[in-house]
Chains A and B, each alone.
Chain A
Amino acid sequence: MTQFLQTCLDAASLGSIFALSALGIGLLFGILRLANVAHGEFISTAAYSLIVPFTSVAAASELFIGKWHWALVIPTVCAIVIVLALATERFVFRPLRSASAPVLMMASFTVSYILQNTILMVYGSQARGVNLWYGLTRQIQWEGLRIPLIQIVTIAVTAVLMVSLSLFLKYSRFGIEVRAAAEDFRMARYLGVRANRVIGIAFAISGLLAAAVALLYLPQSGTINYAWGSPLALYGFVAVVVGGMGSLPGAVLGGFSIGIAITMLQVYLPPELKPFRDAFAFALVIVVLVVRPNGLFPTKHVMKRV
């Protein structure tokens, strides 16, 4: 029983990370039909901004922004990633606004390639140890459970972010515009929604969520390398597909389902099959796409008009 509870907690905390990642990807997909492969590099950039660039490799890399008080670290990292996200929007995705979905995906693939190679150039290819917020890795003993503090923080922060994001989307003027654009972008523009502003807001939120993913996951993982963010974004993708592409509640539910599925596979898969955990997860994507193209949690029905 204790072990099962422990597993549930792991699943919830991993699911939170995936849900945040999925939300960042799903938001852009809903509005632009952009499957943003570069989201992983947004996450990596957030993590790398904490350490000193151009230093030689040390076991524990010297912290740069990461040394500051947490109340300064969080806004700075968020600002860096938001600026990056807005810059990619301005220079790559805005000129391509009328392009087809696969061309957009290709463009995001390119952005991801550029950013990943920039990280390689500035920070090198070797893994770096990052000791961010060491205190958070402490474990709390409770009724026989060992609960790492970071898991509680992750779940709590995710809950707060999601509640505030849904309040923002539901009640603020910008939020309503974003949702209208996600529903039917062309119609929303006819009704006076400004495309650049809505898309800018969506990219900014996406960047903010990427920064949150990085800051919450970094204390758990401890080391980063140039491709650190990619798996997190890939799982975000899986979550978006599983939850029904373009649906934000679906993305969140998808994120938690993937977190649960991954954790359960990790615990209950026979040892000789464990290395193939990711293969199972991605095979699941294909199965969901084929069997339930609207996702496991469909919220709206989109019919193609001729």
Chain B
Amino acid sequence: MALSPLKGAAREALLPAVLTAGLGLVTLPVWLFASPTVETFWSEILVRIVLVTGFYIFIGNSGVFAFGHVAFACIGGYAAAWLSMNPMFKQIMLTGLPGPVQAMQLSPWAGVAAAAAMAALVALVVGAAIVRLSDIAASIATFAFLVVVNRIYSNWDSVTGGVAPLTNIPQFGSIWPTFFFAAAALCVAYLFQRSRWGLMLRASRDDDVAALATGISVYRMRLAAFVLSAAVMGAGGAVYTYFLGILTVDVFYMGLTFLMLVMLVVGGAESLTGVVAGVVAVSTVAQLLRMAEQGVEIGGATFALPLGLQEISLGIFMVLVLVYRSDGITRGRELPLPGFLKSAADAR
């Protein structure tokens, strides 16, 4: 049974609309009423949604576990700092930057765009080699790429300032730009996964031999997803930098990689709904554990978890999810469609 065009369009737009509206519905009261602590907590969730969506665009659609995408966030973060830092400080700290870059100071919006473009460019070159590899080889190669980028950025002192933090980076000054980028990332990811290329790539994820046999160029589809996801990661790195107003190279390394992958796997690596669910669930659990470390008052007595237990509990939580529910909270499905938009095909 064919759907009417109007219903078809509504069906297509529903998921990103619902996810965006959901995020917006929380952002609005947070912006209006919440304390700075809560606002920071929620902003961080929005930033993480951008980053995890970046991971998802490649991993979720291709089924290839890429461990190195944080490298693109690193590239994006530094691109943002190079373009938006106070020129006075750039002339002191980053003497190796080309003259015109040293003199300019772009707005955060332009910085995010430039960061996405730069990460995409690097991804095109690196991805052309890496996405040819089979599953585990590709995972290891992306991991190696992360180490390479980290080593370069932490040692190229004249351009990146080495391991020293870069300061005097302008901030957004409001929660809304961060919200905008989270929503934009979700929409981009959705458009890709519903596009012809995205569907072909998902077909290859489920059965690569059958996909090849039907004439799908798995290589080209994977490369497209790799470049797009790197662009989102680059933007995410820039958003993260503008959110913090300060940049250190080790932020974008194993720790962040692990956290992002935990969120992706906990939510369900194969659905966009899972991205949002995973980020919110893991961030909340981590925040509760952090609060428990600081001490909870119950009936006059203060109970506190020993320091460091937060990370360990998060790790154990991850093991449990991997063992008992390896396809995540959402089991890899998107939000169900309401009945009136369903077609006969959905009934199975």
Is chain B found bound to chain A in the same assembly?
A: yes
> Using Cβ atoms and an 8 Å threshold, which residues of chain B touch A91?
319
Alpha-carbon distance A107/B265, docked complex (angstroms): 11
Give the residues from 281 to 311 in chain B that come closer than 8 angstroms, CB to CB, to chain A: 306-309, 311
Please measure, in the bound complex, the distance between the C-alpha atom of A290 and the C-alpha atom of B48, giving whole angstroms.
31
Pick the contact of B136 from A105, A278, A286, A304 — CB < 8 Å? Answer: A105
Stretch at the interface among A116-124, A136-144, A202-210: A116-124
Complexed CA–CA distance, A35 and B144 (Å): 13
Taking the nearest CB of chain A, how far is it from the CB of B72, in angstroms? 15
Asked whether B151 is an interface residue with its Cβ less than 8 Å from the other chain, the reply is yes
Q: Check if B136 sits within 8 Å of A289, measured CB to CB.
A: no
**B205-228 interface with A by 8 A CB criterion:** 209
Q: Are A279 and B151 in contact (CB under 8 A)?
A: yes
User: B244 to nearest A CB, angstroms?
Assistant: 21
Query: How near does chain A come to B138, taking the closest CB pair, in angstroms?
Result: 8
Measured in the bound complex, the distance between the Cα atoms of B318 and A92 in whole Å is 11
**Within the complex, which residue of B132, B156, B209, B265 is in contact with A106, where a contact is CB–CB below 8 Å?**
B265
A110, A278, A304: the one within 8 Å of B319 (CB): A110
- CB atoms of A286 and B130 under 8 A apart: yes
Give Cα A234–Cα B316 distance, bound, in whole angstroms.
23
Is A120's CB under 8 angstroms from B308's CB?
yes
| A-B contact number at CB 8 A | 122
Bound Cα distance A118, B310 (Å): 11
Residue-wise interface mask of A (103-117) relative to B, using a CB-CB cutoff of 8 A (1 in contact, 0 not): 101110111011001
Is residue A70 within 8 Å, beta carbon to beta carbon, of the partner chain? no
Q: How far apart are the CA atoms of A114 and B262 in the complex, in Å?
A: 13
Chain B residues whose C-beta falls within 8 Å of the C-beta of A286 in the assembled complex: 126, 129-130, 141, 144-145, 148
> Which residue of the partner chain A has the closest CB to B309?
A121
Partner of A105, one of B67, B156, B308: B67
Whether the Cβ atoms of A103 and B322 lie closer than 8 Å is yes
Can you list, as one digit per residue, whether each of A38-57 has a CB less than 8 Å from chain B (1) or not (0)? 00000000000000000000
Query: How far, in whole Å, are A34 and B264 apart by their CA atoms in the complex?
Result: 20
Judge whether A105 and B147 touch: CB under 8 Å.
no
B155 CB contacts on chain A under 8 angstroms: 275-276, 279
Residues of A in contact, count (CB < 8 Å): 41
Interface flag for A102 (CB, 8 Å): yes
- In angstroms, how far is the closest chain A Cβ from the Cβ of B122? 13
A114 vs B315: C-alpha distance when bound (angstroms)? 5
A35-B139, A283-B144 known; A110 and B322 CB under 8 Å? Answer: yes
B322 lies within 8 A of A279 (CB): no
Q: Which residue of B lies closest to A273 (CB)?
A: B155
Nearest-CB distance from B289 to chain A (Å)?
12
Report whether B135 and A101 are in contact in the complex, using a CB–CB cutoff of 8 Å: yes
Residue-wise interface mask of A (245-287) relative to B, using a CB-CB cutoff of 8 A (1 in contact, 0 not): 1000000000000000000000000000001101100110110
- Compute how far the CA of A102 lies from the CA of B322 in the bound complex, rounded to whole angstroms: 12
Query: Hey, which chain B residues are within 8 Å of A293, CB to CB?
Result: 133-134, 137
The answer to whether B140 touches A237, judged by C-beta atoms less than 8 angstroms apart, is yes
Q: List B contacts of A191 (CB < 8 A).
A: none
Chain A contacts for B309, CB-based, 8 A: 121
A102's partner among B139, B209, B311 (CB-CB below 8 A) is B139
Q: Does residue B88 face the partner (Cβ distance < 8 Å to A)? A: no
Asked whether any CB of chain B lies closer than 8 Å to the CB of A152, the reply is no
A-side contacts of B129, CB under 8 Å: 286, 290
For B326, the chain A residues whose CB sits under 8 A away are 96, 99, 103
Q: Tell yes or no: B180 within 8 A of A by CB.
A: no
In whole angstroms, how far apart are the Cα atoms of A107 and B258 in the complex? 10
Question: Is A241 part of the binding interface, using a Cβ–Cβ cutoff of 8 Å?
Answer: yes
**A238 to chain B: which residues have CB within 8 Å?**
144
Interface residues of chain A, those whose CB is within 8 Å of chain B, are 33, 35, 91-92, 95-96, 99-103, 105-107, 109-111, 113-114, 117-118, 120-121, 234, 237-238, 241, 245, 275-276, 278-279, 282-283, 285-286, 289-290, 293, 304, 306
Apart from A121-B309, A282-B145, A286-B144, what 20 extra A-B contacts exist at CB < 8 Å? A35-B139, A95-B323, A99-B322, A105-B136, A106-B261, A107-B319, A107-B322, A111-B319, A113-B258, A113-B315, A113-B318, A114-B315, A114-B319, A121-B307, A279-B152, A282-B144, A285-B141, A290-B129, A293-B133, A293-B134
Pairs A-B, 6 closest by C-beta atoms: A102-B65, A121-B308, A114-B315, A275-B155, A279-B151, A117-B311
Residue pairs across A and B with Cβ atoms less than 8 A apart, 28 shown, are A33-B136, A96-B322, A99-B326, A100-B135, A105-B65, A105-B139, A106-B265, A106-B322, A110-B322, A111-B319, A113-B315, A114-B312, A114-B315, A120-B311, A121-B307, A121-B309, A234-B147, A276-B155, A279-B147, A282-B144, A282-B151, A283-B148, A286-B141, A289-B133, A289-B137, A290-B130, A290-B133, A293-B137
